[in-house]
Amino acid sequence: MSLLSVKDVNKRFGGLQALDKVNLEVEAGTVHAIIGPNGAGKSTLLNCFIGRLDPDTGSVTFDGKSLLGLPPHEINQAGVSRVFQTPEIFADLTLLRNVMLPAFAKRDGSFSLNAWPLVDRQADIRDAAMHQLEDVGLAEKAEHIAGQLSRGDKRRLELAMCLVQQPKLLLLDEPTAGMARADTNNTIDLMKKIADRGMTMVVIEHDMHVVFSLANKISVLAQGTVIVEDLPENIKGNPRVQEAYLGGAHL
């Protein structure tokens, strides 16, 4: 059984059919990439997984449970973490605090009046956060303020914040958007490392080169429909994909 199952999802914005009968099956332990030109509906689709948008019709099932209508915090507590197109971090906290916070959320649940213990004395959380920062290569900046990081480092931090929760599913929306070349390559390497450990990931990209070496399966989205779903090696030469990208250039 697949970990994430999307069936016949439709979403309209006024007159625009943003998603048209989208189907998607994401197997546990695989990386599934969704590519497509700008405006194809990729972000809209992702928003339907995480409670930001509700599809008009269709179903989204995760781990045997419907995600529709659930608030974002419950979807996260169910095991779905998300990386945003623009990194969403706690800009005025230190890196260490940025990673400890999600670790607390994982340990203590969506609300806990944990007002007496001291953050700095929570050895388990602190160690887990430090370890996660090491993992993404930010350990030496643990006491820096997150807002001062470069774009690439913010992305690493955001990944660390997701990974420290040991999610069952990691969603990434254009993880390399707006990055310099070096940062892009570093981020791709980091995602490969994470994928190699068996993390299930859904990666959204409009730049198909980013995902070719990473994905086990690729769905191509154009104007709200999945036009092709195939192995990466078969995608590149597919004439319909090329047409979508060339045709999508005017979008």
Partner 1 sequence: MGNQAMNKSDLILLGAFVLVVLFAPQLFAPIGAGYPDLLQKFAIYGIFALGFNILFGLTGYLSFGHAAFLGVGSYSAVWCFKLLSMNPLPALVFAILFGGLFAAAIGFISLRRTGIYFSILTLAFAQMSYNLAYSVLTPITNGETGLQLAQSDPRLIDMMFGRDYGAVLPPSDLFGIEMTGYSGYYFCAVLLIVCFFLSLRIFRSPFGLMLRGLKSNQNRMAYTGLNIRPYALSAFIISGMYAGLAGGLLAITDPLAGAERMQWTASGEVVLMTILGGAGTLLGPVIGATFIKYFENIFSAFNDGILNQVFDFLPDTAREIMVSISSLFVGEGWNLTLGALFMLIVIFLPGGLIEGVKRIRTSVGKLFRGGGGDGKSPKSAPAE
Ligand X SMILES: Nc1ncnc2c1ncn2[C@@H]1O[C@H](COP(=O)(O)OP(=O)(O)O)[C@@H](O)[C@H]1O
Which listed option, ligand X, partner 1, Mg ion, none, makes contact with residue 133 (CB within 5 to 8 Å by class)? Answer: none
Which one among 121, 181, 197, 250 touches partner 1, defined by CB under 8 A?
A: 121
* Backbone Cα Rg of the chain: 18
Give CA–CA dist 2/33, Å, rounded: 15
Which listed option, partner 1, Mg ion, ligand X, none, makes contact with residue 176 (CB within 5 to 8 Å by class)? Answer: none
Q: Can residue 38 be called a binding residue for ligand X (CB under 6 A)? A: yes
Residue closer to Mg ion, measured from CB, 52 or 65: 52
Residue with tokens 């050895």: 123
Which listed option, Mg ion, ligand X, partner 1, none, makes contact with residue 39 (CB within 5 to 8 Å by class)? Answer: ligand X
| Least distance between partner 1 and beta carbon 201 (Å) | 16
Q: Can residue 115 be called a binding residue for partner 1 (CB under 8 A)? A: yes
The residue range among 2-10, 40-48, 142-150, 179-187 that interacts with ligand X, by the rule CB under 6 A, is: 40-48
How many binding residues for partner 1 (CB under 8 A)?
Answer: 48
Q: Can residue 176 be called a binding residue for ligand X (CB under 6 A)? A: no
Q: Can residue 44 be called a binding residue for Mg ion (CB under 5 A)? A: no
Which listed option, partner 1, Mg ion, ligand X, none, makes contact with residue 13 (CB within 5 to 8 Å by class)? Answer: ligand X
Residue closer to ligand X, measured from CB, 137 or 248: 248
Beta bridge partners of 49: none
Q: Pairing state of beta strands 200-205 and 169-173? A: parallel
Q: Can residue 43 be called a binding residue for Mg ion (CB under 5 A)? A: yes
One DSSP character per residue, 168-211 reads SEEEEESTTTT--HHHHHHHHHHHHHHHHTT-EEEEEESSHHHH
Residue closer to ligand X, measured from CB, 35 or 136: 35
Q: Can residue 177 be called a binding residue for partner 1 (CB under 8 A)? A: no
| The pair of three-digit structure tokens given for residue 2, joined into one six-digit string | 């697949």
The SS3 assignment for 217 reads: strand
> Exposed, middle or buried: residue 94 (CB in 10 Å: 0-12, 13-18, 19+)?
middle
Give CA–CA dist 18/127, Å, rounded: 43
Find, among 46, 78, 77, 47, the residue nearest to 62 by Cα: 78
Give CA–CA dist 165/238, Å, rounded: 38
Which one among 8, 13, 59, 73 touches ligand X, defined by CB under 6 A?
A: 13
| Least distance between partner 1 and beta carbon 249 (Å) | 32
Q: Can residue 137 be called a binding residue for partner 1 (CB under 8 A)? A: no
Interaxial angle between packed helices 181-196 and 151-163, expressed in degrees from 0 to 180 and rounded to the nearest 10: 10
Residues 6+ apart with CB under 8 A from 239: none
Q: Can residue 39 be called a binding residue for ligand X (CB under 6 A)? A: yes
Point out which residues bind partner 1 (CB under 8 A): 50, 71-74, 76-77, 81-82, 84, 88-94, 97, 100-102, 104-106, 108-123, 125, 141, 143-145, 148, 161, 165
